[in-house]
Structure 1
Amino acid sequence: MSKTDMTAMSCTDLMTTQVPEVNEREALEIAHQVYDIEGSVMPLNGERDANFLVQSKRGAYVMKFVNSAENPGVTSFQTLALLHIERHGAHLPVPRVLATRTGKFEPKVSLREQTFTLRTVSYLDGISQNLGKPSVTLMRELGTTLAEVNLALKDFKHPAAHRNLLWDVGHAERVRPYVDCLETDQQRLVSYLLDRYEHHVKPQLATLRAQVIHNDLNPHNVVLDRKTVTRVAAIIDFGDALHAPLINELGTALSYQFDAGATDPLWQIKAFVGAYNAQIPLQPDELNVLGDLIAMRMAMAITIAQWRASLYPENRAYVLRNLRTTWRNLQCLSAMPEGTLVESLINACRREDL
């Protein structure tokens, strides 16, 4: 087997291994046995893991039964990243890891002749960003918060941070085998973007500053304050975190803030990147590739979603929940005159620098 084949397998194992089978009664028993929590549980959606919301007098928590295909080193990396943020960015709205009765952060539990690793974190209440109303104020708040998370993670090191992940826009070429799952017009555009990425973008990424990043700031991972709907109550789900070029963080995050239905489809992106730049000044070489990364992440999203829908048709509605919007946004972005997006990003950063 070639190195390329092995890499592809390691990237897709998590995406093709069934979510752990755990029912509510079992989850509640384990919560009591391991964490001394009594209350109620409710299953939560998850792409790879079995997740439960646990509500008790002590507070509310999210208990995760980690997919058995995940490398133990990666599990440790994600846990330690959260603990690192707690130490270096205590003010930041990210989940806090809950210790067991015996002080462990990654306990092992046996269930139906299988052993799973648990991670339980505090539940931060609010509404998902996709249920809120977009605003310039929210975009600035979100850009600032993401930059502060990146600053807190700047010095965090872990060997498992250098992982193979299908959702890594820094290795977008890994989705090429799944382009056949797309419709003809989608195949044409995604293939073009992949060619451009491999020849013009990826070679530049190796020269840019890199660190551990969250890598998945989509609206389902942003929790808003219920009252104001303009304050970020939480950034959740560090399951896709990895070491990568820092600009990839924005390429991923901004791919979800494009607004094809607006007079200015870039209005959210400009407010977001301007606020981020005020905390972490972006370098010219980073801004030059950012537009391509935004488009590539959109292309990856529609490709991976349709590939997974073909694997798990029973979960099709959940997997494809964002497909129509993402495809519309990608078409609109790709139709913009070349250089428009990059120029807009540069101007947004200059305004914040004034």
Structure 2
Amino acid sequence: MSDTAKSASLCAQLMTTEVPRVSLHEAERVALDQYGLRGPIEQLDGERDLNFLIRDSRGAFVMKFVNPAEAREVTRFQTDALVYIERQGKHLPVPRVLAARTGDFEARVLIAQQALTVRAVSYLDGIPQNLGTPSVALMHELGATLAQVNLALKGFAPPAAHRYLLWDVGHAERVRPHLIFLDQAQRPLVTTLLDHYERQVKPRLSALRAQVIHNDLNPHNVILDRETGTRVAAIIDFGDALYAPLVNELGTALSYQFDADATDPLWRIKAFTAAYNAHIPLLPDELNILGDLIATRMAMAITIAQWRASLYPQNRAYILRNLSVTWRNLQGLMALPSGALTQSLIDACTPEAL
């Protein structure tokens, strides 16, 4: 089996392997034995991994039991990315990794005859972005924060960062086998977008600058301060991080910022892009492809969600929680005049945009 085929197989296993089965009692034991944490504990929602929140006298921490299908080197890459960011930018609002009693940033435990990797990180309190109050100021702060995270990650490129991931917009064609799970009304548009992506977008990506990126800045991974819901408190979940074209970071993040209900549905996208560009100036070739990446990522989200919902009907509501909004936003995006999105992105990056 080729390395590519092997990576694809591992990726499929990761997306189809159920989360680890760990009881609250077992989680409490691991928290105490591995990290010296003791206190109230509760299970959190998660798509691939099993997470617990534990409140100790030292603070609150999230303990993650990693999906057993995840390659050890990839898990280590995700942990090391958080440690690297902390060392490069201590001011950045990302989780801090808690070392185990052994001094390592990961622990290995045996539960029900299954060896599992565990990571504990600081819990950053707040509410997800979708429950906060949208504003231009918030978009400016979020765009600036993501740019600073990217700047902190620059120069960090371990071999495991070059990973096969279904959620990689740089390889959107990988979702084609799952188009059969789309609603009949959705399939023509998604197919057209993937066709355009393969002909006009993908061939241009290899010439663009690349580095390790977060790769999943959706509203559930953006935490706002609980009191006002107007400021960025944290960027969490580096589980989809990988080495990719830098512009893919924005394509992914901005796919969640279209506002179909607004008079100007691009207002969030423009404010976010302007702030990001102020820290990391976007190049013409990146701006000319960014709009296509936004639409492609939306199409991927619609496809992957419905495929996974078919695999886990008992978790269908959680998996499809964003589907109707994403489909409506994609339809609204595609209804814009040709070239409007790209021109708006270019205009947002002019000096007076902020």
TM-score using structure 1 length: 0.98
How far off is 1:104 after superposition?
Answer: 1.2
> In the alignment, is the contact (CA less than 8 A) between 1:278 and 1:353 conserved in 2?
no
> In the alignment, is the contact (CA less than 8 A) between 1:11 and 1:164 conserved in 2?
yes
How far off is 1:3 after superposition?
Answer: 7.1
1:36 equivalent to 2:28? Answer no
**What amino acid maps onto 1:227 in structure 2?**
E
For residues 100 and 11 of structure 2, what CA distance do their matches in structure 1 show? 31
Match of 1:124 in 2: 124
CA RMSD of aligned residues (A): 1.2
For residues 102 and 142 of structure 1, what CA distance do their matches in structure 2 show? 36
> In the alignment, is the contact (CA less than 8 A) between 1:278 and 1:352 conserved in 2?
no
In the TM superposition, what are the counterparts of 1:259-338 in structure 2 within 5 Å? 259-338=259-338
For residues 62 and 41 of structure 1, what CA distance do their matches in structure 2 show? 10
How far off is 1:23 after superposition?
Answer: 1.2
In the TM superposition, what are the counterparts of 1:78-117 in structure 2 within 5 Å? 78-117=78-117
How far off is 1:5 after superposition?
Answer: 5.1
**What amino acid maps onto 1:51 in structure 2?**
N
> In the alignment, is the contact (CA less than 8 A) between 2:88 and 2:152 conserved in 1?
yes
State which drifts further: 206-215 or 97-106.
97-106
1:244 equivalent to 2:244? Answer yes
Match of 1:164 in 2: 164
Residues 3 and 163 (structure 1 numbering): CA distance in 2 closer, same or farther, change over 3 Å? closer
For residues 140 and 291 of structure 1, what CA distance do their matches in structure 2 show? 19
For residues 195 and 3 of structure 1, what CA distance do their matches in structure 2 show? 26
How far off is 1:11 after superposition?
Answer: 2.4
What is the number of equivalent residue pairs in this alignment?
354
Q: Gaps spanning 5+ residues in structure 2: where? A: none
For residues 130 and 351 of structure 1, what CA distance do their matches in structure 2 show? 29
Measured against aligned partners, the alpha-carbon deviations of 1:295-318 in whole angstroms (never above 9, x if no partner) come to 000000010000000010000000
The SS at the match of 1:190 is: helix
The SS at the match of 1:68 is: coil
How far off is 1:229 after superposition?
Answer: 2.0
For residues 2 and 40 of structure 1, what CA distance do their matches in structure 2 show? 47
Match of 1:181 in 2: 181
Runs of 4+ with deviation above 6 angstroms: 1-4
Match of 1:340 in 2: 340
Q: Gaps spanning 5+ residues in structure 1: where? A: none
For residues 14 and 103 of structure 1, what CA distance do their matches in structure 2 show? 28
> In the alignment, is the contact (CA less than 8 A) between 1:128 and 1:220 conserved in 2?
yes
> In the alignment, is the contact (CA less than 8 A) between 1:138 and 1:230 conserved in 2?
yes
How far off is 1:353 after superposition?
Answer: 6.7
Residues 248 and 352 (structure 1 numbering): CA distance in 2 closer, same or farther, change over 3 Å? farther
In the TM superposition, what are the counterparts of 1:127-166 in structure 2 within 5 Å? 127-166=127-166
For residues 228 and 326 of structure 1, what CA distance do their matches in structure 2 show? 26
TM-score using structure 2 length: 0.98
How far off is 1:7 after superposition?
Answer: 4.6
Residues 27 and 352 (structure 1 numbering): CA distance in 2 closer, same or farther, change over 3 Å? farther
Seq. identity, %: 69
For residues 6 and 346 of structure 1, what CA distance do their matches in structure 2 show? 40
Measured against aligned partners, the alpha-carbon deviations of 1:9-36 in whole angstroms (never above 9, x if no partner) come to 2322111001000111110111011111
How far off is 1:4 after superposition?
Answer: 6.6
